[in-house]
């Protein structure tokens, strides 16, 4: 099995400060060195518009102002962003949420609460899937 690239540029999008901090700390413990955080979808869009590039987006589904689903739709409709793997975090993996995100082009889901091992496994799967497509 191929070693995961710890140089991945990862964007974490979550409106809840404790969740953002927890994800940043978990990703750092997993060895990822290039991780940015956005306080919500609008903040993430500002980063994209400023020319920031990412290899993976990890976003909460339920956020005020702009939901993770709205952010996903934005990303999938911008040519330079549309192929970035998008991992959606949710505490509410309802059928409607899963279907809406799948239709919008989500790459995968992770359900809260989750462990560092589960997060790493999801990232490895996303990267393997992307590598097999390219």
Domain boundaries, the chain: 9-133
Query: What pLDDT shows up at residue 7?
Result: 85
Burial 7-34 (b: 16+ CB within 10 A, else e): ebbbbbbbbeeeebeebbebbeeeebee
Q: What local confidence, expressed as pLDDT, does residue 132 receive?
A: 55
Helix axes 41-49, 68-76, angle to 10 degrees: 20
* Beta strand 34-38 pairing with 56-60: unpaired
Average pLDDT, the chain: 90
The whole model's pTM is what? 0.92
CATH number corresponding to 9-133: 3.40.50.2300
pLDDT per residue as tens digits for the range 66-114? 999 999 999 999 999 999 999 999 887 788 888 899 999 999 999 989 9
Q: In whole angstroms, what is the distance from residue 100 CA to residue 2 CA? A: 32
């Amino acid at each position: 099995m191929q070693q995961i690239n710890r140089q991945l540029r990862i964007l974490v999008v979550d409106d809840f400060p404790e969740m953002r901090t927890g994800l940043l700390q978990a990703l750092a413990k997993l060895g990822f060195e290039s991780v940015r955080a956005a306080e919500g979808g609008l903040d993430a869009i500002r980063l994209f518009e400023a020319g920031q590039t990412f290899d993976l987006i990890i976003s909460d589904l339920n956020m005020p102002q702009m939901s993770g689903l709205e952010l996903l739709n934005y990303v999938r409709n911008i040519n330079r962003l549309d192929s970035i793997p998008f991992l959606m975090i949710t505490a509410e993996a309802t059928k409607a949420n899963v279907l809406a995100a799948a239709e919008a082009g989500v790459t995968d889901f992770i359900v809260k609460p989750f462990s560092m091992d589960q997060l790493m496994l999801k990232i490895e799967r996303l990267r393997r899937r992307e590598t097999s497509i390219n």
